[in-house]
Each structure stands twice: as C-alpha cells, then as structure tokens.
Amino acid sequence: MFRQIGFFHSTRGHAAPVGALKDELAKVDASHSLPVLPEAFNLGRQYRESGPCLYNRDAMIARLQEIAALSHITFVAGLLDAPTSDGLLPYSSAYVIDANGYRCICHKEQADGQEGKHCRRCSTGCS
C-alpha cells in the first residue's frame, strides 16, 4: 500500500537526473510512495534539446532500484529504450520499478512535436 503518490518535476539537473532526484527525495519522507518521473528521465538534457541519450536504460533502472530499496519506493519512470540493432530510434517507454524488479507497462503512441529527435512512436502492440 502506498502512503502517497507524487511526481518529480525536473526543472533543473537534467545532466544528472539521479542526483537531482536524490536531492529532492532528501527533502521529504517519500517512503512507501509512488513517485512518477518525467518522460525520457535518462536523456540527460532537457527534452526539447537535441543530442544522444546520455544514460543507458538498464543502468538507469539499476540506479532507481537502489533508491527504491533504500526508501521503500516504487517508481513509474519514463525512459528511452536502447536504439534498435538496425538503427531505428528507441521507444519512449513507461516502467514500474521497485527494489525487486521492473516491468515495461507501455510505449509512447502519440506524437508530441519532438518525434524523430529522441524516440519514435509505437504503432502496434504498445501496451
């Protein structure tokens, strides 16, 4: 059971998203909560800026699992997956992440004006 649900609205600290998250979590008692992290949390820059994704999805999931274990938190995180082996842009996907594991719950389907910059939309089997 969650005591609270909230979101992490990252207005700065994009280059070090885990550090920015930890700084905010240090200000509150977030134990037994469900924080929602922004789309492309692992991008490493503001969403509208160009450039490659700076943080590997799997490494980011591992870091979030460490935080989850220390604070009894379950995250919903928007992460960019890895590009495909044939060079297609990754999906932007939502994951549920806790100390015991993670699960992809859906891929982004709708365009947002940034399509083709960091990710591609999913057109079939997105959830």
Q: Give bridge partners of residue 91 from the DSSP assignment.
A: 120
Alpha-helical runs (H) found in the chain: 17-25, 57-71
Which of the pair, 93 or 113, is modelled with greater confidence? 93
Sequence ranges of the domains in the chain: 4-107
Q: What is the mean pLDDT of the chain?
A: 91
Quick: pLDDT tens for 35-88: 999 999 999 998 888 888 999 999 999 999 999 999 999 999 999 999 888 988
CATH topology of domain 4-107: Nitrilase/N-carbamoyl-D-aminoacid amidohydrolase (3.60.110)
